Amino acid sequence: MKAVVQDRYGGPDLLRVADLELPEPGNGQIRVKVTACGVNLSDYEYLVGSPFYARLVGGIFRPKVPVLGSDIVGIVDKLGPGVSGFRTGQRVMGDFVMTRGGFAEYACVPASETVPVPDGLSNEVAACLPQAGGIAVSGTSELRKGTKFLINGAGGGSGTLALQLAKAAGAHVTVVDNGEKTKWLGTLGADALIDYRRQDFAKSEQTWDRILDMVATRGPGAISAALSDGGVYQALGGRIPVLLSLVIGGWFGRNSKSIGMLLVPSGQDLTERVAQMAVEGRIIPHLDTVQPLSSVPEALERTGRGEVRGKIVISPQDHGEH
């Protein structure tokens, strides 16, 4: 089978399309013929081995898994030992961030994290949902009408879905991203726009009730200044020293403000919930492009630079060799 292979940590230029043996599903696994795979920032982090937590999961010195891609949609091709509740030919999806393997024609995934794709979703839309949708749902829980909500790094897959859910809840939403993307986010319903290249939201003398930060770069002192009394800040990722400072700062507390990490309970229940929300039209992923397997390096480069509007999806059955 064709797959995009990573031999060591580094930039997208190190990736190569290779012929690999067809994988055999192990105990509790399903082999799927991959029809679509969403590109996530976590894929880029596993590619470059930074922040350091990517190496803690993916291998300290070199990648343990040679094929990236975790938001996988595919057709069940073979059931491994001990698997029940699925059948060959069935369309399935899942967030397989711990096992990965989606930038290939076939992948073996854990059945315990796999769910059927609802009939109302295309392969490409379904591939935009597992990780980004789970983050958006978790990051906007308990928002109420009138809540002042800020999304830092709002132009990607998670941020655009979080914007939709926040607006549906009646929140006043401020989005932070580069100038071109903030203008686009304004057309999607954002109430206030901040170009991070021109203004630091933490130094704007404004405050918000809730802040969802896709990539944390500020310590608890700067964040506290941007939170209203009783406000809640949740970070999704960032460099280890920054994340540690936020966690420690949250432990000690800063008045009535809550500062910490966003914990996303990934798994079948959340993926099913997100997929159903998409079927009902409550969330609509923004698909930047659908690209062939050979375009994975370019897709990861754009993702790492923060240039993608919404999500890029890879179609592994298209090798880009026409």
SS3 177: strand
Q: Which CATH superfamily is domain 132-261 in?
A: NAD(P)-binding Rossmann-like Domain (3.40.50.720)
User: pLDDT at residue 254 above 60?
Assistant: no
What global pTM score does this model have? 0.93
**What pLDDT does residue 320 have?**
59
CATH label, 2-128+286-315, candidates 3.90.180.10, 1.10.10.60, 3.40.50.2300, 3.40.640.10: 3.90.180.10
Residues 286, 313: contact at Cβ < 8 Å? no
Q: Is the pLDDT of residue 22 over 90?
A: yes
Least confident of 13-17, 199-203, 244-248: 244-248
182 or 240: which leads in pLDDT: 182
Closest to 128 in 3D by CA, of 283, 297, 296? 283
Instruction: Give which of 133, 77, 167 is closest to 267, Cα–Cα.
Output: 133
Domain ranges of the chain: 2-128+286-315, 132-261
Note the pLDDT tens digit of each residue in 41-85: 999 999 999 988 899 899 999 999 999 999 999 999 999 999 999
pLDDT 10s digits, 117-131: 999 999 999 999 999
Q: What is the DSSP string of 107-165?
A: EEEEGGG-EEPPTTS-HHHHHTSHHHHHHHHHHTTT--TT-EEEEETTTBHHHHHHHHH
User: What's the confidence (pLDDT) of residue 243?
Assistant: 81
Q: Which residues does 248 contact at the CB level (< 8 Å), separation at least 6?
A: 220
State mean pLDDT over 276-287: 97
Q: What is the average pLDDT across 261-281?
A: 94
Confidence of residue 318 (pLDDT cuts 50, 70, 90): confident
Question: Which pLDDT belongs to residue 253?
Answer: 57
Does the pLDDT value for residue 291 go beyond 90?
yes
Count of beta carbons in the 10 Å neighbourhood of residue 36: 24
